[in-house]
């Protein structure tokens, strides 16, 4: 796994229990209910922050856990649990690690997503009074916190991406265009994480990312494959760096075709981005050879910039071309929160299934209802029963053929079915 990826467990805090209590005053033997509510459990929020550069700190954590709330005591409310905010780099994409669905794309400074929402505080008995039940002896328990596993991926946000085979001269190019100081060496796979540089040409400033070398089969995950192709998804302009005179004796034109094929296989949309070829290391070539390859690439419809980063030849025409292309590009979109994690889990649906003769009810809302019920208190159980009746759960059970005395299982609790009708 790379530094720009992290899988973490996230837990929100549980809500505090509500209390069941009654006014006590001199001369008043039994006052009205006054039980207070439990506190709200802490939530876990991810926030995009430009001072955070990698997901390294997140990866060091086993669990990101917010605080539990405290229970209400008599007529005093419980304290809320501590929320936690975790800083992640701008460009972090959040996935549900279980179903792989994307939850949020934190593409701008300050973009936030709640990944685990704190449990609601249980309501005190005061809430359960009505015309017939004036002195409820029960209160609601706090809602349990959520526990989810999320996967974070950092997608670089750069205007321009430098792509090409290993050793093509990408890092050297970014080092002469910007203040970036990437590692440069005469062997392949020198760059293992993308380097970001800021380029200034006249009054235009843009960011450039130097990608690790791609190899044949990258689109199927070979080499560093998808890991890095995904970084270029968010660049507006691509510069394909092709070595004019490869030391390994390979053919520059075939090399060019290999990478182009990978791009196309990875994403057609990506392959259609504005793109040019930087024909690198022309100081190692002879003019005839350089011209020959340039002509071949131009015949493919490519714009070609023969250049040398070492002798600093012909770099500016490339930068002007990039600046022009960027002017034509739309601004980067707003952050997208596709699906707050908690949204999916509060779905209203439930299911009744018969397992080994037991009637098993599943569905988050129903399970939470049971988890928040003080099952030792008959009055609370009756209240639960009525709620389930109103939700239609009881009818569904009857339709499934439940009989008095049968066992109903909800959230791991077993109930004996009794039709109070
Ligand atoms: N003569 C000459 N050598 C160059 C030029 N550009 C890069 N090189 C050399 O080519 C080798 C590879 O350069 P890098 O910039 O590390 O190549 P890269 O594409 O970043 O390679 P990876 O990170 O391994 O994918 C180094 O030895 C560089 O000094 C150039 O314009 N002229
Ligand atoms: Mg490199």
Task: Calculate how far, in angstroms, residue 211's C-alpha sits from the geometric centre of ligand 1.
Answer: 13
pLDDT at 1: 37
pLDDT at 74: 92
- Residue with more model confidence, 195 or 137: 137
Q: What is the pLDDT of residues 217-257, one digit of tens each?
A: 777 766 665 666 777 887 889 999 999 999 889 999 999 99
pLDDT category at 99 given cuts 50, 70, 90 is confident
| Dist. CA 252–CA 296, nearest whole Å | 10
Q: What kind and span of H or E run contains 140?
A: none
In testing the pocket of ligand 1, which one of 165, 166, 171, 172 has its CB within 8 Å of the most ligand atoms? 172
Atom of ligand 1 nearest to the CA of 188: 24
pLDDT at 345: 47
> Is the confidence at residue 338, as pLDDT, over 60?
no
| Dist. CA 15–CA 30, nearest whole Å | 29
pLDDT at 343: 43
Task: Supply 101's token pair.
Answer: 């669905």
239 lines ligand 1 (CB under 6 A): no
- Residue with more model confidence, 318 or 2: 318
Task: Supply 241's token pair.
Answer: 């760096």
- Residue with more model confidence, 225 or 272: 272
Domain ranges of the chain: 1-155, 160-328, 347-416
pLDDT at 421: 55
pLDDT at 107: 82
> Is the confidence at residue 180, as pLDDT, over 50?
yes
Alpha helices in 267-392 (DSSP H): 268-271, 287-299, 315-328, 341-345, 364-371, 378-391
Distances in Å between the alpha carbon of 253 and those of 21, 114, 261, 282, 295?
Answer: 82, 49, 12, 15, 11
Eight-class DSSP state of 41? P
| Dist. CA 241–CA 308, nearest whole Å | 11
Domain 1-155, CATH 2.70.210.12 — does that match? yes
% of the chain surpassing 90 pLDDT: 45
- Residue with more model confidence, 412 or 170: 170
166 lines ligand 1 (CB under 6 A): yes
Task: Calculate how far, in angstroms, residue 218's C-alpha sits from the geometric centre of ligand 2.
Answer: 16
Q: Which of 280, 285, 289, 284 is nearest to 309 (CA)?
A: 280
* Mean pLDDT, rounded, for 264-271: 87
* Mean pLDDT, rounded, for 117-136: 89
In testing the pocket of ligand 1, which one of 162, 163, 164, 171 has its CB within 8 Å of the most ligand atoms? 171
Give pTM, 2 decimals.
0.66
Map tokens 């791609």 to a residue: 214
Q: What is the pLDDT of residues 181-231, one digit of tens each?
A: 888 888 887 777 778 888 999 988 888 988 888 877 777 766 665 666 777
pLDDT at 346: 47
| Dist. CA 326–CA 201, nearest whole Å | 12
According to CATH, the topology of domain 160-328 is Rossmann fold (3.40.50)
CB within 8 A of 122, min separation 6: which ones? 15, 16, 17, 18, 37, 38, 71, 72, 139, 140, 141, 142, 143, 372
- Residue with more model confidence, 32 or 421: 32
pLDDT category at 2 given cuts 50, 70, 90 is very low
* Mean pLDDT, rounded, for 346-362: 81
Task: Calculate how far, in angstroms, residue 138's C-alpha sits from the geometric centre of ligand 1.
Answer: 74
DSSP string covering 168-204: SSHHHHHHHHBS------SSS----S-EEEEEEETTE
pLDDT at 347: 55
Task: Calculate how far, in angstroms, residue 225's C-alpha sits from the geometric centre of ligand 1.
Answer: 20
CATH number belonging to domain 347-416: 3.30.300.350
- Residue with more model confidence, 288 or 211: 288
In testing the pocket of ligand 1, which one of 165, 167, 228, 279 has its CB within 8 Å of the most ligand atoms? 167
Distances in Å between the alpha carbon of 348 and those of 368, 392, 414?
Answer: 11, 12, 22
Task: Supply 308's token pair.
Answer: 């040398």
Q: What is the pLDDT of residues 38-93, one digit of tens each?
A: 999 999 999 999 888 778 888 888 899 999 999 999 999 999 999 999 999 888 99
Lowest mean pLDDT among 252-261, 331-340, 391-400: 331-340
């Amino acid at each position: 796994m790379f530094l720009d990826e992290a899988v973490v467990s996230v837990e929100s805090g549980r809500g505090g229990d509500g209390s069941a209590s009654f006014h006590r005053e001199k001369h008043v033997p039994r006052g009205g209910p006054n039980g207070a509510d439990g506190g709200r459990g802490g939530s876990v929020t991810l926030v995009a922050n430009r001072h955070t550069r990698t997901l390294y700190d997140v990866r060091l954590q086993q669990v990101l856990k917010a605080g539990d709330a405290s229970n209400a005591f008599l007529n005093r409310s419980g304290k809320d649990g501590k929320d936690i905010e975790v800083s992640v780099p701008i460009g972090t994409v959040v996935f549900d690690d279980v179903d792989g669905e994307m939850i949020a794309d934190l593409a701008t400074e300050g973009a936030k997503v709640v990944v685990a929402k704190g449990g609601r505080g249980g309501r005190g008995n005061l809430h359960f009074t009505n015309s017939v039940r004036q002195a409820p002896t029960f209160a609601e328990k706090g809602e349990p916190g959520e526990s989810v596993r999320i996967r974070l991926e950092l997608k670089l946000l750069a205007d321009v991406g430098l792509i090409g085979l290993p050793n093509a001269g990408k890092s050297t190019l970014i080092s002469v265009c910007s203040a970036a100081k990437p590692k440069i060496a005469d062997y392949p796979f020198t760059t293992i994480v993308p380097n970001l540089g800021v380029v200034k040409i006249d009054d235009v400033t843009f960011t450039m990312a130097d990608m690790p070398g791609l190899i044949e089969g990258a689109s199927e995950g070979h080499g560093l494959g998808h890991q890095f192709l995904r970084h270029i998804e968010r660049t507006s302009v691509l510069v394909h760096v092709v070595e004019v005179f490869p030391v390994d004796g390979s053919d520059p034109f075939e090399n060019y075709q290999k990478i182009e094929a990978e791009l196309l296989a990875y994403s057609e949309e990506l392959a259609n981005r504005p793109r040019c070829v930087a024909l690198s290391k022309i100081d190692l070539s002879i003019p005839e050879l350089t011209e020959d390859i340039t002509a071949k690439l131009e015949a493919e419809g490519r714009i070609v910039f023969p250049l040398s980063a070492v002798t600093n030849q012909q770099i500016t025409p490339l930068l002007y071309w990039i600046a022009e292309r960027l002017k034509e590009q739309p601004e980067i979109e707003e952050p997208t929160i596709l699906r707050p994690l908690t949204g999916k889990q509060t779905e209203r649906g439930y299911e009744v299934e018969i397992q080994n003769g037991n009637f098993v009810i599943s569905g988050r809302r129903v399970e939470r209802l049971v988890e928040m019920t003080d099952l030792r208190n008959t009055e609370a159980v009756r209240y639960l029963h009525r709620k389930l009746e109103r939700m239609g759960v009881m009818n569904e059970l009857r339709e499934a053929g439940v009989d008095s005395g049968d066992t109903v299982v909800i959230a791991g609790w077993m109930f004996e079915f009794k039709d109070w009708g």
